Amino acid sequence: MDAQERYIRDYSAPQGDVLDWLERESWLRTSHGRMVAGPEVGAFLRLLVQEMKPRRVLELGTFTGYSTIWMASALPEGGRIDTLEINDELEDLIREAFRRAGVADRVRLVIGDALDILPMIGETYDLAYIDANKRDYVAYYQSVIELVRPGGLIVADNVLWDGKVCADEPPRDQQTRSILAFNDLVAGDDRVENFILPLRDGLNIIRKK
């Protein structure tokens, strides 16, 4: 954690004991602790849910459930999050985290490949959060845009990709190329309006017209 991130945490509301525990466990029990969105993004997602009061939220990429808990804690009565995670080895930790946070009754965890699940999901969502395999962001968007109601929001994380999307050199890795293709697709899609928020690794905030 650098000095700026430490300062932000010190002067923001604490995330609470359960999320502190889950952040530690994500580093201890997985090899990708960096994938935790962090309290800055988590608090922003919670604020969106508080203001939107969505009945249905879709999340692609549960990881250990960190972002899910931030959003689920702000759902209105009767609201639900459908969260999709491909790695079945994380299921025990995810469900333990939901239980500790007291949100298990507001979350439906679906284990499997989102690209297989989305065509069969049969729901309409007020808010969708994409934070899964960067190589598939274009395919996720093409499926999710059909499931979000007019006026609803899609939020995609990591769209600045450590600054690689802004580099002068052409990208060499597939993840960066895919994020660039996703940002290009959204910017040219007349079904939506969007802006990129430079919060942590970049959020693309997309409103379906």
SS3 (DSSP) at 154:
strand
What would the pLDDT profile of 134-157 be if each residue is shown by its tens digit? 999 999 999 999 999 999 999 999
What confidence tens digit (pLDDT) does each residue in 67-122 have? 999 999 999 999 999 999 999 999 999 999 999 999 999 999 999 999 999 999 99
Superfamily of segment(s) 3-208: Vaccinia Virus protein VP39 (3.40.50.150)
Radius of gyration of the chain (CA): 16
**Rounded to the nearest 5°, which phi and psi values hold at 123?**
-130, 160
Kindly give, in sequence order, each residue whose CB lies less than 8 Å from that of residue 166, ignoring residues fewer than 6 positions away.
160
Domain boundaries, the chain: 3-208
Spatial neighbors of 42 by CB under 8 A, at least 6 apart, are: 15, 19, 66, 67, 69, 70
Query: pTM of this prediction?
Result: 0.94
